[in-house]
Structure 1
Amino acid sequence: MPISRRGLLTGTAAALLAAGAAGCADRTGPDQDAAALARLLDRRARAVLRRDRAALAATVLPGATALRTRQLAWLDNLAQVPLAAWEYRLQALDAYPLPAALGSAGSGGRRRAARVHLRYRLAGFDTEPVTATAYQTFERIGGAWYLGSDTDHPGGDVQLWDLGPVTVVHGRCCLVLGLGSAAALPPYARLADRAVPAVSAVWGDGWGRRTVLLVPSTTQQFGSLLGVDPQGFAGTAAVTSGEYGAAEAGRTERITVNPPVWAQLTALGRQVVTTHETTHVATRAVTDTWTPRWLAEGAANWTGYLGTGLGPRQICPELQAAVAAGHLPGQLPPDSAFDGTAPDLAQTYEQAWFACRTIVLRHGQAGLVGFYRALAATGGSGGQQAAVEQALRRSLGTGTAVLTAQWRADLLAALR
């Protein structure tokens, strides 16, 4: 599922600067505020990169003991994380209403409510930065600006280190960042290291050939990291978050594990899930808004089950039961059928795997990959249905109606 953490500089800060330059004689006006806060944010970013506790503490409002303690603990959470870059960009001032002023701010201090973007890269894994949004209140006391609060506004993007100390395990081609016991992380690295070459064998080497796995400790933390209600993912063992399109190819998308569901999987199930999610990472640059989910999820499942020795009846038990009972699906599953709370979700994923099997039976695995890439190349012209039809005809010489009929025939042959 794509979850955007990218943002572009809004016009708000520029507008503030223009307004201040045009008519604000107060040397502490909006333009000076924005420039001063940008400098403060640069100091904070340098402190994080250097893991400099004293430098970070110096950016916190004097007397804000609880905030300083929380900030230093947060910096300690990052101790093992291999950072290649870390920067803050001021996006907007007066971004949210401030609560009533207390303490020094109530005695003449100036406060500004800011929306800030964090841009960071993990060393060895990101060539493009990941962007996250934070809401922070800054206060000016005695001519200097400080971080005054990080709890005045709900929302913003949650990172793993916001939730506790992060332990890091390096694999041959993966990075695992987790909360809790360090001893629990090496198995994830072994799974990921097996998944990467398996995915490359199908999809080629034209992707980063590396993965980043995030391992929270609880379902609530899983939901916080993704910005979702975890109840909607009660049957989901892991999710790949990121953005669509070739422009995102320089960023290694994150695979986030859902701990209680993961714990219920067999060893084989964990490998299938890891390879499935790694396929999403590998195909991110050729997956876009017009890519039907039956193809994206079916291709990931197809890759995940390769080499397991399992057949259609073992991979598709719910679909097999439905077909055997005379309930043959009439069309490929729509995108809405893949929502976390949709009924028959497991059967929907089985239908998607079977659709990709149908393509592979008639056109080979190269045909499935070629169709996937051809669909991305259409640019989504005319909408999803038209793009799929165009890509099918260009890459496989067939159409949606024929593919659907072949899929239904294969279902009957294999599962009845």
Structure 2
Amino acid sequence: MLRYAAGLAVLGGGGTTAWRAWADAGDDRREQRLAGVVRTLDRRSAAVRARDAAALAATVVPDPGAAGLRRRQYQLVANLARVPLAQWTWRVVSVDAYPLPAAIGGGERVAVRAELGYRFTGFDAQPVTATQYLTFERQADGEWLLASDGDHPGGDVQLWDLGPVGVVLGRYSIVLGLREQAVLAAIGAQADQAVPAVSAVWGSGWGQRTVLLAPRSTAQFGALLGADPAGFTGLAAVTTGELGAADRGRTERITINPAAWDGLNALGRQVVTTHETTHVATRTQTERWTPRWLSEGVADWTGFLGTGRTPREITPELAAAVARAGAAGPDLLAALPADAAFAGTGAGTSLQQAYQEAWFACRTVVQRYGQQKLVALYAAVAADGGGQGAQQSQDAVLDRALRGTLGLGTAAFTALWRADLLAALRP
């Protein structure tokens, strides 16, 4: 900035005018590029909504080297054939978003970070968004066409990027997947059972709709999450979405992990589906300061509710750990599980034990104070942190919420949890 200022002072008035004219011309060129790209993205959006593969392919550069890219436009429309789209729009987030590889020949190019927004009919009041990196090239007639979708790593993978999407539409749910239709139908039946079960605990003040994604392979599961699937070994499903009430109109996605899911019996799948549906129902009351033991504990509590399973049957790994600890059992339960315990990086059965300890904490609330107190505690944690305590520690927020709903602080509640757990699990 200082170097520019010094240079302008030397140039004097005429030089300043010339520099401004150059800058204005540059701004005009940028605006023209942006307008051209926006027009093409609008054409692409309309083509997808109309399921017009030829129109979508016509937004790709006519170069022979782009034949594969054009074929992918036809495949995209085919993959979306059964998906009930209420909205599909692209918007430009930024231009010159990444360095472009060298190219021989061709016209002027621009690197675009774009945001895809889409909604499923009957399930999304607000669009779900996905980031894409797209390169556009200016043609001789001034039109900007898509030249590449692979010049920059990253971006969000969607189910239809992986193959033709099957759809099962239920009373409360929609299942989209790459698996056999019978598998999708079974997932949908369990999802339709989960929604009223969750509403019986958490009320009807949520969308009472679920969207489930069923990839065919573990690799596809990881691609949809944008993460290494090895970090989710043993988890049969994951719910993704934004925390808090800002995205109230968006239905979060439950993504099935096929390897873990297929190893469950019917009861296990129903528990998992109800667990994940609880995350959807409580998402607007789940904040970054909500302890993981509370968010996962209420999901497991709701998931196992009404199954008739005993505490030992629900918490086998924890029961075995308590038995091994013997008289040192209280030392094993010195504190409620920390957030890090749910990261899946611990050894042995530590992840299962963290979930099971969380279930026991919620069981203590319900057995001693009633189920409505558990619901009230969850809301109190979200409300406290969202107000004047937003910058305060998670521990302080939890302690105030416990005192406000149950009449005792974290230390006293931890002692009750420990006593209830040992009483239920000790031989």
- Tell me the residue number matched to 2:233: 234
Partner of 1:415: 425
**CA 1:187–1:22: 2 relative to 1, 3 Å:** farther
Whole-angstrom distance in 1 between the partners of 2:73 and 2:145 = 13
Amino acid at match of 2:425: L
1:342 matches 2:342:
no
| 2:279 pairs with 1:280 | yes
- Counterpart position of 1:110: 108
Distance 1:346 1:25 in 2: 62
- What is the CA distance between 1:312 and its match in structure 2? 0.6
For 2:97, which of 90, 95, 98 is the aligned residue? 95
2:370 is paired with a residue of what secondary structure?
helix
Residue from 76, 80, 85 that aligns with 2:78: 76
User: What does 1:42-53 align with in structure 2 at a 5 Å threshold?
Assistant: 42-53=42-53
Offset from partner CA, 1:259-318 (integer Å, 9 cap, x none): 011000011000000000000000000000000000000000000000100011110111
Partners of 2:267 and 2:273 lie apart in 1 by 10
What's the CA shift string for 1:193-215, capped at 9, x where partnerless?
00000000000000000100000
Q: CA deviation at 1:224?
A: 0.5
Larger helix fraction of residues:
2
Alignment match, 1:4: none
1:384-403 pair list within 5 angstroms:
384-403=394-413
1:324 shift after superposition:
2.1
Which residue matches 1:133? 131
Task: Summarize the Cα distance change of 1:153–1:21 in structure 2 as closer, same or farther, 3 Å threshold.
Answer: farther
Corresponding residue for 2:334?
330
> Identity of aligned pairs, percent?
62
How far apart, in 2, do the equivalents of 1:22 and 1:125 lie? 50
Residue in structure 2 matched with residue 161 of structure 1 by the alignment? 160
RMSD: 1.5
SS of the aligned residue for 2:382 comes to: helix
| Corresponding letter in the other structure for 1:361 | Q
2:256 is the counterpart of 1:243: no
Displacement of 1:27 in angstroms is: 9.2
Q: Describe the shift of the 1:271–1:34 C-alpha distance in structure 2 as closer, same or farther (beyond 3 A).
A: same
Q: Which has the higher contact order (CA 8 A, sep 6+)?
A: 1
After superposition, residues 209-228 of structure 1 pair within 5 angstroms as 209-228=208-227
Cα deviation 1:334-381 (Å, max 9, x = unaligned): 000000222311111000000000111111000000000111111251
Runs of 4+ with deviation above 6 angstroms? 19-22
| Distance in 2 (alpha carbons) for counterparts of 1:22 and 1:334 | 58
Equivalent in the alignment of 2:255: 256
What is the CA deviation profile of residues 2-51 of structure 1, one whole-angstrom value per residue up to 9, with x for unaligned ones?
xxxxxxxxxxxxxxxxx999824369711110111111111111111111
Deviation readout 1:62-115 (Å, 9 max, x if unpaired):
12211100121112111111111111110111111111114xxx14x0100110
Distance 1:52 1:397, change over 3 A: same
What is the one-letter code of the residue matched to 1:88? W
- Tell me how far 1:394 sits from its aligned partner: 1.2
Equivalenced residue count is: 394
**Aligned partners of 2:358, 2:195: CA distance in 1, in Å?**
22
Check the 8 A contact 1:323/1:411 in 2, yes or no. no
Q: In 2, distance between residues paired with 1:35 and 1:397?
A: 60
Structure 1: distance between partners of 2:229 and 2:179: 19
Alpha-carbon offset, residue 181 of structure 1? 2.0
Structure 1 residues 356 and 22, CA gap change in structure 2 (3 angstroms): farther
Distance in 1 (CA, whole Å) between partners of 2:337 and 2:179 is 39
Deviates more, 1:342-351 or 1:324-333: 324-333
Cα separation, 2, equivalents of 1:358 and 1:158 = 41
**SS class of match (1:25):** helix
Q: AA paired with 1:348?
A: A
> Could you tell me which amino acid in structure 1 is paired with residue 144 of structure 2?
W
- Per the TM alignment, residue 183 of structure 1 is displaced from its structure 2 partner at its CA by 2.5
Matched, 1:35 2:35: yes
CA contact (8 A) 1:20 1:31 kept: no
Structure with higher Rg: it is 2
CA displacement, residues 376-403 of structure 1 (integer Å, 9 cap, x when unaligned): 1112511211111111111111110111
Distance 2:260 2:143 in 1: 49
Determine the C-alpha separation between the residues in 2 that align with 1:333 and 1:176: 33
**TM-score when normalising by structure 2:** 0.90
TM-score by structure 1 length? Answer: 0.92
Once the two structures are superposed, what CA deviation does each residue of 1:195-251 show, in whole Å capped at 9, x if it has no partner? Answer: 000000000000000100000000000000001100111111000000100112111
Aligned to 2:13: none
Alignment-derived partner of residue 15 in structure 1: none
**Contact 1:297–1:349, Cα closer than 8 Å, also in 2:** yes
Counterpart code for 1:75: V
CA distance in 2, matches of 1:33, 1:84: 29
Cα distance in 1 between the residues matched to 2:227 and 2:166: 24
Secondary structure at the aligned position of 2:385 is classed as coil
Judge which range, 320-329 or 214-223, deviates more. 320-329
* Aligned AA (1:39): R
Compared with structure 1, are the counterparts of its residues 20 and 267 closer, same or farther at alpha carbon in structure 2 (3 Å cutoff)? farther
1:3 aligned residue: none
Shift in CA distance, 392/98, structure 1 to aligned 2, threshold 3 Å = same
Verify the 8 A CA contact 1:117 1:134 in the aligned structure 2: yes
Matched, 1:351 2:357: yes
Aligned-pair distance for 1:323?
1.6
